Amino acid sequence: MAQKINLLLNKKQIILLGFLLMVTLFMGCTVSVIDSNVEIANRRWTYRNHISTPFEIKDNAKAYNVYFKLRHTADYKYSNIFILAHFKDGKKMITRRYQYKLAKNDGEWLGSGSGNVFSYTLPMLTNYHFPRNGKFEVEIEQNMRDNPLLEVSDVGLLIEEAK
């Protein structure tokens, strides 16, 4: 009888532990407004190929983080990247230039690697409050000397509520 009680307690403990784990995972998730990736044709990113991402902000009282997403191959020949980000709110446009370091001084890539491809999620705006609710757009263009910029496979944008 004592063995059956122990088994029941163990099953209840396992179910409770599973429930607590699920609640923890659910509470730890951030809410993404947008998570986009655009494939760059033939891994050749030209000046004219602006990556445009429209999105909508429904609660401008909240703070948001805006990230630039990049994927490149191991054959990308630079240790950094310059981009121009055009922030549009329908009435006006603000352009900012960003430089991101992609490799250590010894040439080791800083991004997470999967085979021959390296991925980055790089901060653009942190704890940012949009000026109003509504539709916005961020347009990203490469701002390097090379045109086309070779071995860039994907570019995107991630906007999520700040924690």
Question: For residues 159 and 66, is the Cβ–Cβ distance under 8 A?
Answer: yes
How many DSSP H helices and E strands does the chain contain? 1, 11
Mean pLDDT, rounded, of the chain: 88
Instruction: List pLDDT tens digits, range 19-60.
Output: 444 444 444 455 778 999 999 999 999 999 999 999 999 999
Pairing mode, if any, of strands 117-128 and 44-45? unpaired
Domain 32-161, CATH: 2.60.120
Residue 114 has a pLDDT of 82
pLDDT at 17: 44
Torsion from C-alpha of 138, 144, 145, 150, nearest 10 degrees: -100
Query: Rounded to two decimals, what is the model's pTM?
Result: 0.80
The amino acid present at 5, given as its one-letter code, is: I
> For the segment 85-99, what is each residue's pLDDT rounded down to a tens digit?
999 998 899 999 999
For residue 3 the two structure tokens come to 């063995």
3-state secondary structure at position 6: helix
Q: 71 pLDDT band (50/70/90 cuts)?
A: very high
Share of the chain above pLDDT 70, in %: 82
Tell me how far apart the alpha carbons of residues 45 and 39 are, in angstroms, rounded to a whole number. 10
Query: Beta partners for 70?
Result: 120, 155
